[in-house]
Structure formats: structure tokens, C-alpha cells
Amino acid sequence: MYPPAVPPEIRRVDPNELPAWLEAITTTFLDRPDVVAMTRQVTEHWDFQRVWGAFDGRVVGTLRTWATELTVPGGGHVPASAVTAVTVLPTHRRRGVMRSMIGAEHDAARDRGEILGLLYASEAPIYGRFGYGTGVTTCSWTIDRRSTAFQGPPASGVDFAPINVETRDLMRDLYDRHRLAQVGEIRRRDFTFGLDLALIEFAWEPPWKGWVIVHRDAAGQPDGYARYSAEAKWEERQPRSVLNVQDLVALTDEAYDALWTFLIEVDLVATVKAERRSLDERIPWRLTNRRAAKPTEIGDGLWVALLDIPRALEARTYERAGDLVLEVIDAEPGSGRTRVRLEAGSDGVRCAPTTADPDLMVHADALGAAYLGGTPLRHAVLARGYDEGRPGALVAADALFRTLDEPRCMTFF
Ligand SMILES: CC(C)(COP(=O)(O)OP(=O)(O)OC[C@H]1O[C@@H](n2cnc3c(N)ncnc32)[C@H](O)[C@@H]1OP(=O)(O)O)[C@@H](O)C(=O)NCCC(=O)NCCS
């Protein structure tokens, strides 16, 4: 009888087991890349303390994480575990294998001192039960450039950059300065920038082919870049090409405007599309016809789980004063509840375990969703429910967690 009744062993993967591990993940993700080439390409970049497998004589489940940090309200940078590659073979699904792998990784993340778990979800219903909530909402902007123009001066200070290691290093530097100041953004892995420019091979994805433009300020200092590709199209002898913007990083409003102006004014283009952006962007307001910029594919972006609730709540700032006893119903079975007192005032933030009566009881995923200030707690609690020990505590907590600026994350992993 297959699969056997004994649950698979959950453990870290040895580098020589990587081909079998990649075979399992690509099977579950319904793809057939060259796993031998992939093994060669990824081995030097991965931390094998963070590569998990479920084994029953062969690999039947996969999960991998990497170390990052997240910029939180107030500008703090919080260590986090970025979870990816979660798969279980169709022969072993719905037997608790994913649950066991996530439990093992969360324990390991806590041991490493990581305060948050972060991920992108293939399907929305999966991760709430593990304490993850949608912390950042993203959208694509689709701009019908035939029906609008950019309002403002022509793009100046923008030029093409060659696709080489110098441009990769420049992008890495600009991106890092950007993410350190952007709530919701994360540190990217070093090799990402080489992969993005197809300077590194990766057998699972066709190589990127496109252009990089860089903006320089009046003093000639680079302060923004965009990376884009194009689909050349003609319809009835009319140019209808689509320009796909993969990354647009700007340290100033001037750089943002100049990069967008450049992209919108490229000839032969009917549509400009930028993925993983924020709803809260200034681009529509810079167009002569605001309706030409449509947000599409609006939905969950980065998911956040608080692995250490007191430290996570103390790591961010709050735009209002508040004093709240919060009881969080932990996601993982058997782990119970965490009760903390959160005090935010002009003299700073304190959050510590308490035995005081709770003002508000919420589930862990709702707190994860509200953590970055963009998702209203009063909406997030609707997924699993809440309870008030003090009338009005939910509205007060909702106001405490919200921030004026929306968190943003354009880094997918
Ligand atoms: C998603 C996946 C990893 C789940 O693995 P699994 O071992 O079957 O999950 P488990 O048995 O541990 O399930 C734990 C719980 O999650 C639920 N669950 C699992 N996958 C789910 C899904 N796709 N949608 C809704 N609920 C799901 C289970 O029903 C179970 O619910 P319970 O808490 O009520 O018991 C697996 O189905 C898979 O590999 N899917 C394809 C790849 C994928 O989408 N991976 C996620 C990448 S972000």
C-alpha cells in the first residue's frame, strides 16, 4: 500500500539530495525543468540549514526559507524568515505533511531569533491557519498610453544602462537604499539582481531580455532605475506593443516621475504594465487622463506572521497613543494563546507578556495582516472571529495599528 501509514520524516536536506528535492517540487508545481542543471545553479546560493524535506524513502514534501529583514512602521528593520517552495506530492497531500514542515521551520526560525515569517501564497485559503495574514496588498497598473500623456516636464536625466555587473551593483545599491526606507519592503538576496538581468543562468525560468534605465539627479547622482521588457505587437498595421515594467525603484518623486514619463513615452507602445505595485501610487495623478491608469490584479501580496509577538509589536511604532491588552490565539495547534500588554505613547513602545484581563482577543493571522499598518484589523478579524473584553477595543486597536502610508512590497519570492 502506498503511501505507507507512517508519517514521513521531516528533516533538513543534504546537498546530495537536492536533485530528488527539486524533482519533487517541480512535479508538484507542474513543471519539467532540467533538475540537474538547477542543482548546479542553486547549490552555492542556498543555505542548507533552511532547506526542508519530507521523506518516506524519497522526497515527498519540500519547504525552503531564506533570511531577510522587513522594514516596519517607524523605520525599524526586523529579522524575518522568507518561506518559499512549499509543496507536497499529490500522493501525500492532505495528511498533515505541510503542517509538519511549517511547524519545524517556525521552531527553527524562532531559534535563529527571527521575529517574523513572510511568504507569498499560491492560493489564498492555505496560510491563515498558520498565523499568516495579508500585510501588503499589491496590484498591477495597466496604462492605456494612447489615451493619456504625462503631465509635467519631459523626462530628463534618464538614460539606458548596459546589462552588466556594474549596472547590477548600481541596482542593488539603489534598491537597498529604497527598501531601508520603505515600510513593507524586504532585503533581497544578492543573487536576485544577477538573476533579474540574466547574468546568472536558472534552468527553471527563461532568461530575462530587456532594458534598464537609470535616472540621475541634477548633480549626476543615480537615484532611480527601471527594468522592463517588451512584447512587440502590430494590429492592422498599427503599433500596439506592450511594455512590461518588472521593477521601478525611485528614491525621490523627481526620479519616479522621470522614469514613468520615459516609459509612457516610448514609441510604438499601446500599453504599459507594471506588476506588484501599490494601489497608493502617484502615477494616475501625473496623467492628463487619470482613467488611463487602471489598477488590476488587486489582492494579497506579502503575507506576514508574527513568530515572536511581543518583540514584533515592540519593533514598530504607532501613530497614536494606546494601551491595549491583547490575547492572540496562536495558529499552531497546541501552542495556546499569547497575552501581551501593548503600550504606545510619546515616550516609546513597550510590549510584554501580562496576566491582566484581555481587552481584545484575535487570531494570529489577523494580527499578522494588521502588523504593517495597511490592512484594517477590523476587517482581518472577520476571517476567524474575535472577542472583546472591553467594549470598543476592536475599533481602538484598529486605529492603533493603522498607518497613514500604505506598506508596499514589490519583491516577489
Ligand atoms: C498546498 C500544499 C503544500 C498542502 O500540503 P498538504 O500536506 O496537503 O497540507 P496539510 O495536509 O498539512 O494541510 C494542513 C491544512 O491545510 C489545508 N490545506 C492544504 N492545502 C490547502 C489548499 N490548497 N487550500 C485550502 N486548504 C488547504 C488542509 O485541508 C489542512 O486543513 P486543516 O487545518 O483543517 O486540517 C499542497 O497541496 C501542494 O503542494 N499544493 C501545490 C503547490 C502549492 O500550491 N504550494 C503552496 C505554495 S505557496
pLDDT (0 to 100) of residue 142: 98
Dist CA 267 CA 214 (whole Å): 18
- Rounded to the nearest angstrom, the distance between the alpha carbon of 314 and the centre of ligand 1 is 32
**Architecture per CATH, 308-401:** 2-Layer Sandwich (3.30)
DSSP H helical segments within 308-354, as ranges?
309-315
- Rounded to the nearest angstrom, the distance between the alpha carbon of 132 and the centre of ligand 1 is 14
Q: Is the pLDDT of residue 2 over 80?
A: no
From the CB of residue 76, how many other CB atoms can be counted at a distance below 10 Å? 14
Best of 10, 55, 99 to mutate for ligand 1, by most ligand atoms within 8 A of CB? 99
Q: Rounded mean pLDDT of 138-167? A: 94
Best of 59, 93, 335 to mutate for ligand 1, by most ligand atoms within 8 A of CB? 93
Dist CA 301 CA 292 (whole Å): 24
Best of 23, 98, 119 to mutate for ligand 1, by most ligand atoms within 8 A of CB? 98
Dist CA 50 CA 21 (whole Å): 13
Percent of the chain with pLDDT over 70: 99
- Rounded to the nearest angstrom, the distance between the alpha carbon of 126 and the centre of ligand 1 is 6
Contact (Cβ atoms closer than 8 angstroms) between residue 306 and residue 277:
no
pLDDT digits (tens, 9 = 90+) for 226-270: 999 999 999 999 999 999 999 999 999 999 999 999 999 999 999
- Rounded to the nearest angstrom, the distance between the alpha carbon of 209 and the centre of ligand 1 is 35
Dist CA 279 CA 284 (whole Å): 10
Question: Residue 96 is placed in which grid cell?
Answer: 498533515
User: What positions carry a catalytic annotation?
Assistant: 127, 413
Q: Domain 139-299 adopts which CATH fold? A: Aminopeptidase (3.40.630)
pLDDT (0 to 100) of residue 64: 98
* C-alpha 137, offset from chain centre: 10
CATH 3.30.1050.10 region(s) of the chain? 308-401
Burial 327-364 (b: 16+ CB within 10 A, else e): bbbebeeeeeebbbbbbbeeeebebeeeeeebbbbbbb
3-state secondary structure of 111: helix
Q: pTM score, two decimals?
A: 0.97
Q: Output the CATH code of domain 9-114.
A: 3.40.630.30
Residue nearest atom 26 of ligand 1, based on CA coordinates? 126
Residue nearest atom 43 of ligand 1, based on CA coordinates? 87
pLDDT digits (tens, 9 = 90+) for 263-297: 999 999 999 999 999 999 999 999 999 999 999 99
**Model confidence band, residue 3 (pLDDT cutoffs 50, 70, 90):** confident
**Model confidence band, residue 333 (pLDDT cutoffs 50, 70, 90):** low
Q: Is the pLDDT of residue 165 over 90?
A: yes
Q: 398 φ, ψ to 5°?
A: -55, -45
- Rounded to the nearest angstrom, the distance between the alpha carbon of 131 and the centre of ligand 1 is 14
**Model confidence band, residue 334 (pLDDT cutoffs 50, 70, 90):** low
Pocket around ligand 1 at a 6 A CB cut-off: 28, 86-88, 93-99, 121-123, 125-126, 129
Residue nearest atom 29 of ligand 1, based on CA coordinates? 94
- What value does the mean pLDDT of the chain take? 96
Residue nearest atom 17 of ligand 1, based on CA coordinates? 126
In which residue are the cell numbers 492603533 written? 400
Dist CA 288 CA 142 (whole Å): 15
CATH 3.40.630.30 region(s) of the chain? 9-114, 139-299
pLDDT digits (tens, 9 = 90+) for 144-154: 999 999 898 88
**Model confidence band, residue 301 (pLDDT cutoffs 50, 70, 90):** very high
Dist CA 129 CA 106 (whole Å): 13
Contact (Cβ atoms closer than 8 angstroms) between residue 184 and residue 407:
yes
